[in-house]
Structure 1
Amino acid sequence: MIIREQLEQQELKMLSPFACPNLGHAKRRKPETPCPYRTEFQRDRDRILHCNAFRRLKRKTQVFLSPSGDHYRTRLTHTLEVAQIARTISRAMRLNEDLTEAIALGHDLGHSPFGHSGESILNSICPHGYRHYEQSLRVVDKIEKKGKGLNLTEEVRNGILCHTNRVADTKEGNVVRVADRIAYMNHDIEDAVRAGILHRDDLPRDVIEVLGDTKTKRITTLVGAVIVHGPEEIGMAPDIQAMHDKLHAFLFEHVYYNPIAKQEEHKAKLLLETLYTHFISHPAELPEEYQKIAEEEDLPRAVCDYISGMSDGYAVDLYTNLYIPKGWE
């Protein structure tokens, strides 16, 4: 047997009955010749890792808009942290770690510049609406590789689409959904403390007593709770889930809706609305691949695709070039 076939057979021997093996699954919309060395889910992971949208995540906001400090999370570091947490859970439950990793690496490819603020702004101005998990799927299906897409397997596509608030078709997809929240809650606490808008003593006392008083302890507690709960239904014991949910609600009140964290949002709104109006009025200035989308679908869809793919810095630079006067040279 070639190496890929050996790997596929090893999966059947080692994985849990709840896991999604490559054999019998991993179908693509466009059939391709299999790789002799990698399984299909491994190929998906590699395609995501090497795509343009993945590289742009390094300059996209997580919570704080374009932070100047080196240690604040970006969308890229968040993605890597989600992948590691999800892989730990999948490995412990004998799920398919390659499938889990591919979904985790691709789950936020469709995030707009300026984080969830940008998502809300685009949702309000684009007639098609805008939700980052749907855009992530659109990125891998229709935008990457100049419109060719990555031709990912159905299981990875489903996991990307369902990572926010839907039940995925695979256990691996549901692991990523849980890991995403574990990662961003605990890492956003750390960033909020660094930014001075939250103090560690502000966290609910009962949450700290159950989950732990440090980032590491909380992540360990939550990951362990998911593993102990088992692969039949991805979740946590009710007492741990209750503290998880209370911490999540606390962060929305004190961090995500905090006036200090949101103080630049009105500027982001003006910037994105201005760029959107500009390209609606000047479609010939869109890059060629987005002009093609405008022809095949419609102009608002193409403009939203273009703007949503921008990094924070690129959007600011483009706005500056278009609307800020330059000095005479």
Structure 2
Amino acid sequence: MRRALTRTAAALAILLGLGDAGLQAFAEKARQQPPELSATELEKIVAAVPKQAAKPESARRVLIFWRCEGFFHGSGIAGGNKAFALMGEKTGAFSVDCSDDYAVFEPANLARYDAVMLNNTTHLKFPRPELRQALLDYVRSGKGLIGIHAATDNFYDWPEGAKMIGGLFDGHPWGGGGTWAFRLDAPDHILNRAFGGKGFKLRDEIYQFKDPYTRDDRRVLLTLDLADPATGKVTGGVKRADKDFAVAWIKTEDKGRVFYCALGHAANVFMDPAVMQFCLDGIQYALGDLQADARRR
């Protein structure tokens, strides 16, 4: 779809006699936008969002970035952007700004925020290397990074970025139309308190990860439960011989804090109260308002 839109923009620019600047302007306007949520979807998201949060040390701001140069998770972007904005409003834990403009990574702008969230971003192509370096420096300085679902479908040519988020997408054998089982790697960990010590099932698309994914530098929180018959019988596209299919983790990046959750392919995920509480706790960890052990167990 994105390629078709870009070709349309190019054709229009040629017809109108515009040069490269005109083509770029048309391409910018042709970028896909998240769909509008239905009234029913919005009602379910509102009902799922937690009402209370850990008290923030100060007024917190989160920048939600949702640019896509690859697959466009329209439903997941729309659901996540709305859910996290409502979460901040209802709990008072943070406020949010949403953007898909790379200009937000200018250092002076990043300095306005306590954490950056990559909500279903794919194949990000920073127009200038200084902008991606600014993000890395920002996190390493002690700020937070939050990754939702496709946030690991980026940085294939940027090893430092891949290490920062914690791994790279390597397919999704567990498709978005299925309901899969998840177990808690650390049932007593504070960031898993939303699940009451028990595993759960959810309809979502689940990734597997390749290097630099490792358990050595993080605390894995959720993993696919292969003991579940429907989840365990999936073999097509499975590449990891070690059967290590992590779903969520926290880690540090120098002085910064990283929370990644592979859940969130579509809006239905943001209608689950336990998942929303889990995400709130992860966000507050990244912000520095909820202390949690990120060391390997």
Higher share of residues assigned strand: 2
